[in-house]
Amino acid sequence: MIRKTMIVVDANEASENSKMVESLRKVVEVAVRPLEAGDYLILGANGKALVERKRIFDFLNSLKGRLWDQLTALKSFDGERLLILEGYLGLYRKSKWNEAAVLGLIDRIVVEWEIPIIPTPDVKATLTYLVWKHKKLGEEEKLREYPLRVSGREMTPQEQALYTLEGLCGHKTAKALLTHFKTLGDVIALFHGHSIAELESMLREVKVGGRRIPSTTIRRMHTAVNTVYTEPTPTWLEDRDAGPRGEGEDSGQGAKGEREG
């Protein structure tokens, strides 16, 4: 019976490497079964990976033959596909292989076939990697909250004011607002104490690159200044980290999402 979390070892691989199977069984649940592709099928609670293991000379000897059939079968697997290359790669120099040809074929496997190669120096390292990968696929992904902006050094009060404000509107607009209203407190008070319509009228004289501050920027700053803070929820964190933002949305620092003058 194949369970949800275990390492399945191909029957042929297990017969040739019984000590590897014994070592794996000391730390993870192992089953030995005939596999249509690969030598190790790693099943975790959060994913699966099929691993083809090749020792260096076996790898070299198969480059002109069965390796490509094995990679074709590996490619059809619905999950992570990996090729472990075990041993010292430089041994090809002791064979009749052309160095450029070997490296070119490795490049082809990674780039064209999109199968990552994991180099391991010996059997012990291969065992360590298989156990680590099994653990990795079984870990529950924890939501982590990161600071939206990080200051890399100690700043002067003027730099800190600019740094704080540009998170709302971008560098050029922040500099223009501070130049016009003098202090960060005055800028915040302005956006806290007036409506959007009032702000648009009051900010007509503030120019960024010869142009007025865009209405979208004013509305965004007004919303940020006047929104009551609550602790981020897991859903909010997932949405924030889900990937690239849609067209027209602002980046976390504000500067990239704004068309300043």
Residue 118's CATH number: 3.40.50.10130
In-domain check, residue 179: yes
pLDDT given at position 194: 93
pLDDT given at position 118: 96
- Domain assignment of residue 168, given as a range: 157-241
Q: What is the pLDDT of residues 110-153, one digit of tens each?
A: 999 999 999 999 999 999 999 999 999 986 555 455 455 555 56
In-domain check, residue 93: yes
Question: What stretches in the chain show pLDDT beneath 50?
Answer: 143, 146, 244-261
Are 103 and 204 found together in one domain? no
pTM as predicted:
0.54
* Cβ atoms 51, 134 nearer than 8 A: no
In-domain check, residue 184: yes
pLDDT given at position 248: 38
* HSE of 103, CA atoms in CB hemisphere, 13 A: 5
* CA 87 – CA 251 distance, rounded (Å): 45
**Number of domains making up the chain:** 2
pLDDT given at position 247: 37
Residue 209's CATH number: 1.10.150
Are 120 and 36 found together in one domain? yes
pLDDT given at position 244: 47
Quick one: the chain helix, strand, coil %, rounded to 5? 50, 15, 35
Are 113 and 37 found together in one domain? yes
